[in-house]
Amino acid sequence: MSDDKDITVVHVMRHGEVENPDGVLYGRRTGYHLSELGRQMADRVAEHLAGRDITHVVSSSLERAQETAGPIAKSHGLTLDTDDRLIEAANVFEGKTFGVGDGALRKPANWKHLTNPFRPSWGEPYVDQVVRMMGALNAAKDAARGHEAVCVSHQLPIWIVRSFVERRRLWHDPRRRQCTLASLTTFTFQGDRIVSVGYSEPARDLVPAHLLAGAKPVKGKSKAFGA
């Protein structure tokens, strides 16, 4: 049985920028790697975390997450583990463009997927994301008990599990997610209970302005594909 005074910190990181010249919603598709800027973001966060007591690094199996987590694991002399509970949310629009004034939403055949924003009707239910992400957080906490862990995941699942922990509604305006590229959403556990949630952006100066939280959408530069 764990000592309920034990403090364990789990940093959940969103991956860095992805090479995606066609601007498609890549979702769970393989073959999407970090751009040069994305690699700089990963290195920046690894430097930021270099002095932390990190004993466990894990990511989803998608290339962009693995490539983001790699420098962190290397800097701490750790093997990178994989947990597919950290994977991106499933979405029926994968492989399609999803920009402002263009892309999939212009086609009436796709409107049927937009009927229920509360579930949501276009992809993996929010409740399912909470269940798997909480499982991943707890597994990371157990692996690093008394120390710190880093989990590299994707924007929507990170925002959803944070919303659940902070007791906010799960349905939301995607433009208001506080989860920019290479950001850290940090969960502090006392024993097995989350006692605080923090947020930081160690690579903020590297993030393109239109991808920052609260930025206005720009035609041809959708935020949706940067998940």
pLDDT tens digits, residue range 86-102? 999 987 667 666 554 44
73: left (phi over 0), alpha (psi -120 to 50) or beta: alpha
Residue 117 has pLDDT above 70, yes or no: no
Per DSSP, the three-state class of 159 is helix
What pLDDT is recorded for position 13? Answer: 98
What is the C-alpha separation between 104 and 117, in angstroms, rounded? 17
Q: Average pLDDT, whole number, for the chain?
A: 86
pTM over 0.75: yes
Mean pLDDT within 187-200: 98
Please, what is the Cα angle at 65 between 152 and 223, to 5 degrees? 95
pLDDT in tens, 45-63: 999 999 999 999 999 999 9
Residue 222 has pLDDT above 50, yes or no: no
